[in-house]
Amino acid sequence: MEVRLADGRTIPVEMHKIKIVQQTYFLNIDDRITAIREAGFNTFLLQSRDIFLDMLTDSGTNAMSDNQQSAMLRADDAYAGSESFVRLQEAVRDIFQMRYVIPAHQGRACEHLLSRVFVKPGDVVITNYHFTTTKAHINIYGGEVVELIHDEGRITTSTNPFKGNLDIKLLEKAIAEYGKSKISYIRMEATTNLIGGQPFSMENLKAVSKIAKKHDIMLMMDCSLITENAYFIKTRESGFANKSILDIVQEMLRQVDLIYMSGRKSTMARGGMICTNNHELYHKILPQVPVFEGFITYGGMSTKEIESMAVGMREMVDVNVAGSGAEMINFFVHKLESLGVPVVTPPGGLGCHVDAMKFVPHIPQLEYPSCALAAAFYIVSGCRGMERGTLSMDRDEQGNEVPSDMELLRLAVPRRTFTMSQMEFAADRLAWLYEHRDLIHGLRWVEEPPVLRFFIGKLESIDGWETRLMDAVRADSRIN
C-alpha cells in the first residue's frame, strides 16, 4: 500500500510484520577491497558474509510468508504422485486457470525444455526483449532471438508506462520476412528483466495475441514476474483500476498458448514450471521431464519447494503482495532521482536500475562500465548489485563483443526483505559515489567463460582505480 504524508511524500507501507530475520555484516573498507578483488570485480563471486544489503537479485531471495513456511512441513516426499504436486496443480488451476503443469527445477530449466522441444537450427524466436538464460538455451538449440521491443524500451528515461511493449508493426513485418515455418514461437516477457523490469500493457498483449492467432504461431509468456506486470496494468492502464490482480492475471493468460515461470520471483518460493491448457503441447514437452529434471510430479524441485510455490501462487495475487516490491522500488527510484543519480524511469519491477552510461560516461562499453559501477558501489556501501550490460551479453560466433543496448547497475529489491531505512542508506551511498564517479575506471578480463560469462567470469581493474576509491572513502569520516 502507498500512502501520502502531510509533507507531500508518498511512501510504501508494507502490509506484513517481520517474524524472522537474518544477520548481515558490514565489513570495513579494507576487507571490502580484499573481497571485491578476490571476487574478480564480479559481484556474483562475493560471499554472503561479505555483504551488508544483498541487491544482486530478487530471485529466490524474497521473504516467504508464515503460510508458505508452514506448508513446507506437510511436504509429501513421494517420488511419484506426491500430494504436494497435487496442491500445486490445484493452485495453477485456480489462479492461472490452466490444466496442465510441468514442474522444473527453476526458470532456465523450463527454457531448456522449451528450446529443446520447439527450437530447430535456423529458427527464430520473436520476443519483446531477451533474457540471458532464455537466449542461451535458444542459441544452444541453433535458434536466434529477434527482439521487437517498442522504440522507447531502449531509452532509459521516459514517461511511457509500458516500455516492455512489443512493436506490433515490426511483428507483422518480421512474420512476413521469416515466414511462419521459421518462427518457433513468440515470447512475451512479463516485465522485461534486462531493460529495467518494464511491463507491457494488456492492449499490447492482446494485439500480439491476435496476430499470433492469425498466423497460427504459438504465443508463450515468461511469467516469472507476472504479478508485477499485472500490478502495473492495474495502476497504469486505463480501465483496469477496479479490477483485481487475479482478474488481470487471468485475462493476460487467456491470451497465450503456454506459460513458463521461475517460481523464485512472484511466487516467492523456489523452482519453476510450464503450464498450458493445450493437450498436444503438454504431451510434446512431458517426456523430456524425467530425462532432464526428475519425475513429472517433482521435476527437480524438492516437495518443500513445491508446497511453498503452491501457497505463493495464491498469495501473489493479493494486491498488497503483488505491489510490495513495485512500491518499494518506486520509493527507491524517486529517492535516487531526487539525489541526482541517473536511473531508469518509469520505475519497473524487480529493482532499481542505475544508468551506467550516464553515471560513468567516461568508461567505454568494452571496459564494462556497469560491472565497474557494481564493484565500486560494493566498495563504498557493502551493498551488492548486479551488472546488466555488455558483460551480460556473450560474444558472437566470431568472438566479437556485442555491446548491449543499455548499461545498467541493477539494484534488485527482493520482496518483503528490506526496510525503507536500508533503501535510504543505499541511496545515500550511491549519491556519494556519483559525486566521486571520476574515480571509477574500467575493467578487463582475467578469466572469461564462453557462455553466460557474467555469472562466473573474473576481471581486474585497468589501472588500480579501486585503491583511489578506497582512499576517498577513508578520507570521508561520514561514510568510512
Ligand X SMILES: Cc1ncc(COP(=O)(O)O)c(C=O)c1O
Interacting residues with ligand X (CB under 6 A) = 59, 106-108, 131, 133-134, 189, 193, 222, 224, 262, 264, 272
Toward ligand X, which CB reaches closer, 109 or 470? 109
User: How far is 170 from 127, CA to CA, in rounded Å?
Assistant: 11
Q: Residue 90 CB, nearest distance to ligand X (Å)? A: 22
Q: Please, what is the minimum distance in Å from the beta carbon of residue 190 to ligand X? A: 8
Our CB check for ligand X shows the closer of 131 and 141 to be 131
Find the shortest distance in angstroms from Cβ 49 to ligand X. Answer: 23
**Which active-site residues does the annotation give?**
79, 131-132, 222, 265, 388, 454
Min separation Cβ 66 and ligand X, Å = 24
DSSP secondary-structure letter at 124? E
Give me the least distance between CB of 133 and ligand X, in Å please: 5
Residue of 214, 132, 203 whose CA lies nearest to 175 = 214
Name the residue type at position 375. Answer: A
Looking at the Cβ atoms of 285 and 440, the one nearer to ligand X is 285
C-beta separation of 305 from 271 below 8 A = yes
Helix (H, G, I), strand (E, B) or coil at 393: coil
The nearer residue to ligand X, 131 or 282, going by C-beta atoms, is: 131
| Cα-trace Rg, the chain | 22
**Angstrom distances, CA of residue 170 to CA of 81, 84, 191, 246, 343:** 45, 43, 20, 31, 28
Angle at CA of residue 399, ends 398 and 403, nearest 5°: 110
Alpha-carbon gap, residue 111 to 258, rounded angstroms:
12
**What sign for the dihedral angle of Cα 221, 223, 224, 228?**
positive
Q: Which CB atom, from 228 or from 315, has the smaller least distance to ligand X?
A: 228
Cα distance between residue 311 and residue 318, in whole Å:
12
Backbone angles phi, psi at 124, to 5 degrees: -125, 150
Helix (H) or strand (E) holding 207: helix 202-214
Residue by residue, DSSP assigns 310-349 as HHHHHHTTSHHHHTHHHHHHHHHHHHHHHTT--B-BS--S
Q: What is the dihedral of CA 405, 58, 75, 311, to 10 degrees?
A: -90
In the complex with ligand X, the residue whose CB is nearer, 264 or 416, is 264
Q: Can you list the positions of beta strands (E) in 169-307? A: 183-189, 219-222, 258-262, 272-276
Locate 4 and state its grid cell. 501520502
Give the residue with the Cβ less far from ligand X, 33 or 256: 256
Q: Please report how close the Cβ of residue 356 comes to ligand X at its closest, in angstroms.
A: 19
Q: Which residue is nearest to ligand X (CB)?
A: 107
Between strands 272-276 and 386-388, the pairing is unpaired
Q: Report, in Å, the least distance between residue 106 CB and ligand X.
A: 3
